[in-house]
Structure 1
Amino acid sequence: MTALKLSRRALMQSGGALALTSFIPDRIAAAASADIAPVKLPPPISAEERLSRLARARELMQKNGIGSVLVEAGPSLDYFTGIQWWRSERLTAVVIPAQGEPIVVTPFFEGPSIREMLVVPAEVRAWQEDEEPLKLVADFLKERGVANAPIGFEETNRYFIMNRLQRQLPDAKIVSANPVVRQVRMIKTPAELALMQAAADITVNAFRSIHPNIREGMTPADIDMLYVAAVEAQGGKTDGGLILLGEAAAYPHGSGKPQHVRKGEVVLLDCGCDVHGYQSDISRTFVYGGAPSADQRKVWEQMRRGQDIAMAAAKVGAPAGSVDDAVRSAYESWGYGPGYKLPGTSHRTGHGIGMEGHEPVNLVHGEMTPLAPGMCFSNEPGIYLPGKFGIRLEDCFHMTEAGPKWFTVPPPSIDRPFD
């Protein structure tokens, strides 16, 4: 469920959780994670696997009548080339033709860094500050004889790239690259699953480590500090998580009001981490400092049953949206909703996950993409009672030929939230 990380940070800080006024100093966070052993991490994705991705992309391009695909900086660029780069007004992108090796277009002064990261055969064509990078793209497409064929754009490419490419190629037909890029990325390989499993293991280990160190009066930033230290001690990377306390847990992405840990109120941890570019996303909810109330226990147990209902519905070949429908049908029979109305579950049952915390496709009503082995999803049909509290448990799973398989097994009860 975790939202954009900068948004999470902003929410926590506006909620009275500025690091400068933190309840705990850095040394306590370090001590709290000192007993966590580093995790033996799987190797990064190999050059050979990236080459197989490019080969699969070319197959799909030919099948779908696409002459080339353009992917700018971001996870998909890393996926195909190993180049980990950020987006700015200066274009860095890979252009993959339906036949032959790709090129990477990048500013001249970035060339050495790009070549250092590039792990597949590709020519790097650099442009100077006073040159148009999309002319390099257009020239390459002409060289390969595909300038008049449909050009696939990765779905997150920015508008200015298309606009300026069409100035170079007025007759260019820009189409969605989803039948290529999304289709390849959606099906995870054993190497990808191993990295996601490591990220999940690190996140759960971090939760178990920080749980005994949570104290009354802590803010979300205090707990977040503990979490970050615990992840980094194991070899993972994270910029923190979403920590919701008390009533704030009734709102899936939190509240800007000040929050503090209080006895008898829920604590919701929604966090993840990165291992060689692959993500985890896990949530746990528990009651601090005392026995849960009857309502807290009831909602926790219902939400936990919702996860099992989702897993039972996640069958190979079933539409992804049918998983959400199954959960929502049960919830409505228990008096929630209807649909996405509150009290109940106001968001989808789950989202895709891989190199990004949120990827296509989603477990949401109306999504007809068939579930297939290698697809990965979160399972998080939280239940929210506005003005009171919310309960969210989130565990991710991947589809196998035999059905869904957990990366992390959900906890057995609200009394044992980290078992």
Structure 2
Amino acid sequence: MTIGVGGSSPEEELRKLTSKRDSVAPIGQDERRQRVARAQALMREKGISALYLDASTSTFYFTGLRFGGSERMHGVVVPAEGEPVHISPAFEEAKLRAMMAGVITEPVAVRCWQENEDPAALVIDVLDGMGLAGGTLAIDPMTPFFRADALRRAGNAYSFVNGAVVTDACRRIKSAAEIAIIRTAMNLTLDVQRATARILREGMTTTEVADFLSEAHLALGFDGVPAFRIVLFGEPTAYPHGVPYPQTLKRGDMVLVDVGGTFHGYYSDLTRSYVFGEPNARQREIWTIAKRATEAAFGAARLGASCESVDRAARATIQAAGLGPGYETPGLPHRTGHGLGLDVHEEPYIVEGNATPLEAGMCFSNEPMICVYGEFGVRLEDHVYMAEDGAHWFTRPAPSIDDPFGQTV
């Protein structure tokens, strides 16, 4: 039997878990001020007059306020010089100010629109009042098209650019505080992965395992139920994002568990693949190739190296083992990795064609999955962060197919 798999129950494992909510500090107001200052410096450098932030994770990044997106505009105008102005439906102003009281100490300007008014026209009026008439407005890339189009029509004297030149440039370089939060989240999810392996029993369903993943993350103090819980047994493990039906565990099955949730707003995201029972020769072969590919990708992750070079290193290892080539299967049908932070998929993307050089502060997944359709798949996903001295793992990678959680190492 694979070491660390089976022998426990959901009830027993949940009894061991206590909240770690206070084990790391959330991002504070001082850091958010620094983020706004960095964004404003970028805007001045690029000739951008102001940045419009919609109800997105970028608004949370810069302000500490989180809004649910809807047809009603609720956003923030950040000028290249001066203080941000919040745009709110009038009937939501009291709620907005209550939210601000929890995260912002200084007075904040709020402009409101009534239900029969055009909020896009209000944004343009705010810009005109700042003396920015006819300037360049950068729009949050997560803004819905209908809203961006409304801003364009209301502000036809303005030039418009993709706000990613500001938001992505800020967000893809993580601070020490962000890396500390992500490290905590990743290691807590790894604890859940270990516990999940221990509760497995023959006849268990993927739905039961997914329910445990939710309860365990909540018990550890995550922000809420994990955003994704991919649990696969047997042949469905070959499909990267799963299948739309539950499975029942039997001896000899490959098990794939991919789960992640937010902790103080930042995502964890880990995948483990192992066998329920004794691995056969084919499972060992594919697992070992996947392991070597992750090691090759990590070895290629050097400061100044391109994102695509990391993908190439993983793919070359897989092809050298007789799989692929390229995106063909059996082999790796998707990119090697993605950035992670307030969104589970964000810059930088570890994929062919991305020549972005790796810098200190960048964080990304290392997950060159091997898909053998009709048989099984193996994904060993951990995340990497770049520091001044090079690449580091957030979590300890799985050492072997026989001991996937390193209990004997």
Question: Which residue pairs with 1:146 in the alignment?
Answer: 132
Q: Secondary structure at the match of 1:33?
A: helix
Quick one: which of 384, 395, 399 aligns to 2:371? Answer: 384
Quick one: which of 166, 175, 184 aligns to 1:180? Answer: 166
1:402 to 2:389 alignment: yes
Question: Which residue pairs with 1:88 in the alignment?
Answer: 70
Q: Which amino acid aligns with 2:141?
A: E
Q: How far does the alpha carbon of each residue in 1:226-255 deviate from its partner, in whole angstroms, 9 at most, with x for none?
A: 111111111123335111111111010112
Following TM superposition, by how much is the alpha carbon of 1:390 offset from its aligned partner in structure 2, in angstroms?
0.1
Q: In the aligned structure 2, how far is the partner of 1:154 from the partner of 1:80?
A: 12
1:358 to 2:358 alignment: no
Following TM superposition, by how much is the alpha carbon of 1:38 offset from its aligned partner in structure 2, in angstroms?
2.7
1:333 to 2:332 alignment: no
Residues 207 and 246 in structure 2, CA contact (< 8 A), matched pair in contact too = no
Q: Which amino acid aligns with 2:366?
A: N
Structure 2 matches for 1:255-274, cutoff 5 A? 255-274=243-262
Question: Which residue pairs with 1:33 in the alignment?
Answer: 14
1:217 to 2:203 alignment: yes
Question: Which residue pairs with 1:65 in the alignment?
Answer: 47
Q: Which amino acid aligns with 1:382?
A: M
Structure 2 matches for 1:308-323, cutoff 5 A? 308-323=295-310
Structure 2 matches for 1:93-132, cutoff 5 A? 93-118=75-100, 119-120=103-104, 121=106, 122-132=108-118
Q: Which amino acid aligns with 1:329?
A: A
Question: Which residue pairs with 2:61 in the alignment?
Answer: 79
Following TM superposition, by how much is the alpha carbon of 1:274 offset from its aligned partner in structure 2, in angstroms?
1.1
Q: In the aligned structure 2, how far is the partner of 1:232 from the partner of 1:258?
A: 23
Following TM superposition, by how much is the alpha carbon of 1:29 offset from its aligned partner in structure 2, in angstroms?
4.1
Following TM superposition, by how much is the alpha carbon of 1:56 offset from its aligned partner in structure 2, in angstroms?
0.3
Residues 57 and 180 in structure 1, CA contact (< 8 A), matched pair in contact too = yes
1:281 to 2:240 alignment: no
Unaligned runs of 5+ in 2: 1-8
Quick one: which of 112, 123, 146 aligns to 1:160? Answer: 146
Aligned residues: 391
Q: Secondary structure at the match of 2:386?
A: strand
Q: Secondary structure at the match of 2:18?
A: coil
Q: Which amino acid aligns with 1:293?
A: N
Q: How far does the alpha carbon of each residue in 1:153-201 deviate from its partner, in whole angstroms, 9 at most, with x for none?
A: 1111111122212222222211011221100011000111111011111
Q: Which amino acid aligns with 1:351?
A: H
Unaligned runs of 5+ in 1: 1-27
Instruction: Tell me the TM-score normalised to structure 1 length.
Output: 0.91
Q: In the aligned structure 1, how far is the partner of 2:99 from the partner of 2:187?
A: 28
Q: Secondary structure at the match of 1:268?
A: strand
Q: In the aligned structure 2, how far is the partner of 1:403 from the partner of 1:90?
A: 44
Structure 1 residues 163 and 246, CA gap change in structure 2 (3 angstroms): same
Q: Secondary structure at the match of 2:52?
A: strand
Q: In the aligned structure 1, how far is the partner of 2:288 from the partner of 2:136?
A: 51
Q: Secondary structure at the match of 1:241?
A: strand
Instruction: Give me the identity figure in percent.
Output: 40
Structure 2 matches for 1:188-203, cutoff 5 A? 188-203=174-189
Question: Which residue pairs with 2:354 in the alignment?
Answer: 367
Structure 1 residues 258 and 210, CA gap change in structure 2 (3 angstroms): closer
Question: Which residue pairs with 2:5 in the alignment?
Answer: none
Q: How far does the alpha carbon of each residue in 1:186-230 deviate from its partner, in whole angstroms, 9 at most, with x for none?
A: 100011111101111110111112221111122221001111111
Q: In the aligned structure 1, how far is the partner of 2:296 from the partner of 2:98?
A: 47
Q: Secondary structure at the match of 1:339?
A: coil
Quick one: which of 106, 130, 133 aligns to 2:119? Answer: 133
Of the structure 1 ranges 391-400 and 235-244, higher mean CA displacement relative to structure 2 is found in 235-244
Q: In the aligned structure 1, how far is the partner of 2:169 from the partner of 2:323?
A: 35
Structure 1 residues 30 and 84, CA gap change in structure 2 (3 angstroms): farther
1:227 to 2:213 alignment: yes
Q: In the aligned structure 1, how far is the partner of 2:319 from the partner of 2:311?
A: 12
Quick one: which of 234, 242, 246 aligns to 1:254? Answer: 242
Q: Secondary structure at the match of 1:202?
A: helix
Q: In the aligned structure 2, how far is the partner of 1:113 from the partner of 1:323?
A: 46
Q: In the aligned structure 2, how far is the partner of 1:30 from the partner of 1:161?
A: 48
Following TM superposition, by how much is the alpha carbon of 1:407 offset from its aligned partner in structure 2, in angstroms?
0.5
Q: Secondary structure at the match of 2:86?
A: strand
Structure 1 residues 72 and 30, CA gap change in structure 2 (3 angstroms): farther
Following TM superposition, by how much is the alpha carbon of 1:410 offset from its aligned partner in structure 2, in angstroms?
0.5
Structure 2 matches for 1:289-304, cutoff 5 A? 290-304=277-291
Q: How far does the alpha carbon of each residue in 1:368-390 deviate from its partner, in whole angstroms, 9 at most, with x for none?
A: 11100000000000101000000
Quick one: which of 219, 233, 246 aligns to 1:245? Answer: 233
Following TM superposition, by how much is the alpha carbon of 1:30 offset from its aligned partner in structure 2, in angstroms?
4.7
Instruction: Tell me the TM-score normalised to structure 2 length.
Output: 0.93
